[in-house]
Structure formats: structure tokens, C-alpha cells
Amino acid sequence: VEAELDFASRDRREIEKSNAKNALEEYIYEIRDKVSGPYSDYIKEADREAFCATLTTAEDWLYDEGEDVEKKVYEQRLIDLKVTGDSVALRAREAELRPPAEDALPR
């Protein structure tokens, strides 16, 4: 019974680690496409180039040294990338919501 619990615990940790790695990989691809496409108006060109370089470095790391690290390392990398990515996404979202909000104001 103890061995089964140990195996189940290891399996759960491996699944969680894999999920964290996949979340990081997915975010890298998704945000790179968006900052080069629909979000491009909401980030300065120099900042976009620097962020895309950071994303490429993160992707390279993921398939090299980051191939098999602890879950918390993947999670921290994702948090670090989201500092920039989420601020750009927020600016894009605010720009999307602004015209309807302005139209709703009394004249």
C-alpha cells in the first residue's frame, strides 16, 4: 500500500510538472504571436524586439537546460514572462473596451 501511494505521488508530481512545462511553452508561442500581430500597436518596437528575444531565449532554455527541471522553475519562468506579456495584453484590452465605454457616456 505504501509503495502504491509513493508511485501515485510521483505520478501526480510528474503530471503537475508536465502541465507547468506545457503552460510555459504555450504562453511563449501565444504571446509571441500576439505581440507580433494584434498587440503590436500596444508595445513599442524596441520593447517588442527585446521581449521577443526574451521569449526566444526562454524557448531555447525550455528545450535544453529546462527539459527536466522542477515544476516551480517552470512556474517562475511563466510568472516572469507574464510581467511584460500581461501588461501588453491589458493595454490591448483597454483599447478594445474604450470606444464602447466612451459611447455610453452621456453627452
pLDDT digits (tens, 9 = 90+) for 74-87: 999 999 999 999 99
Can you give the pLDDT at residue 84? Answer: 97
Q: pLDDT per residue over 32-70, tens digit each? A: 999 999 999 999 999 999 999 999 999 999 999 999 999
Measured CA to CA, the distance from residue 18 to residue 12 in angstroms comes to 10
User: How sure is the predictor about 15, in pLDDT bands with cuts at 50, 70 and 90?
Assistant: very high
Q: What's residue 4's pLDDT?
A: 87
pLDDT given at position 54: 98
C-alpha cell at 67: 527539459
